Amino acid sequence: MDRLHLGQHISQQFNTELAALTKQVLAMGGLVEAQLATALEAHAARDLRQVAHVVARESEVNAAELEIDARCTQILARRQPAASDLRLVLAVVRMVTNLERIGDEAERIARIAEKLGNGEFAEHYGVKLAQMGSLVRDQLRGTLDAFARMDETSALDWLRRDREVDLLYKELTRLLVELMQRESERVPAALELLWCARALERIGDRCKNIGEQVIYLVRGKDVRHTGLSRSAAPLPDAKS
């Protein structure tokens, strides 16, 4: 946590506020992570009670987003943070937005599971989807972990692994399109699956955004829209 020396301000109050802020973000992350895990389980096991669980969590996530936003506003107004403190607050604001969206996607996945009900599906697609789901889950966990440790290299790693998710998504899309061409009566179910895959792919993107914020926070470099995730280059301009 303390690569940024967040706990070393002369003002103890400020230290506490920043510590509380990061803790809250991580708690919200945990919430979203659990939501995603539950949604994926619901998918795999077709367990409708789990779905209700995911949906119920949604309001908690929203409340957390609002509270963290309010905290950030307060810190900005009262502390006028600079440099790493400023970046932390900005990164947190952006991160919670992404987290909240991830929560929304998880909810969508859960609802799709509900719609699909007990319909038959070839192992094949289910496995691919589960693979993608676990990849995205790992990505989310890894990114949040990178934030918790302020570890920008690990964040960069997870950022780059988003490509795997994208590849899987493309493959799944292709398979599903083929399926739809072959068996027109399964088009609705296939479409639901496609939506699900799309949601996972979006979660991956959101995780990427969060990873970028971790890098911004630690390095002070805004790496959005720089194609960093597609290149293999190391992070520029190492901090002394």
Judged by CB under 8 A, the chain residues 8 through 27 that form the site for another protein are: 8-11, 14
Cβ atoms 118, 90 nearer than 8 A: no
Give the nearest distance from C-beta 92 to another protein in angstroms. 15
Give the nearest distance from C-beta 73 to another protein in angstroms. 18
d(CA 182, CA 51): 31
Helix (H) or strand (E) holding 204: helix 187-219
Among 83, 120, 227, 232, binds another protein (CB under 8 A): 83
Give the nearest distance from C-beta 80 to another protein in angstroms. 6
Cβ atoms 169, 200 nearer than 8 A: yes
Q: Does the protein bind another protein through residue 78 (CB under 8 A)? A: no
Q: Does the protein bind another protein through residue 211 (CB under 8 A)? A: no
Among 78, 170, 224, 239, binds another protein (CB under 8 A): 239
- Residue 136: count other Cβ atoms within 10 Å of its Cβ: 31
Judged by CB under 8 A, the chain residues 215 through 234 that form the site for another protein are: 219-221
68 Cβ partners below 8 Å, 6+ apart? 21, 24, 25, 28, 92, 93, 96
Site string for another protein, 85-114 (x = CB under 8 A): xxx---------------------------
231 burial (CB, 10 Å; 0-12 / 13-18 / 19+) is exposed
Q: Closer to another protein at the Cβ: 169 or 216?
A: 216
Q: Which residues bind another protein (CB under 8 A)?
A: 5, 8-11, 14, 80-87, 219-221, 239-240
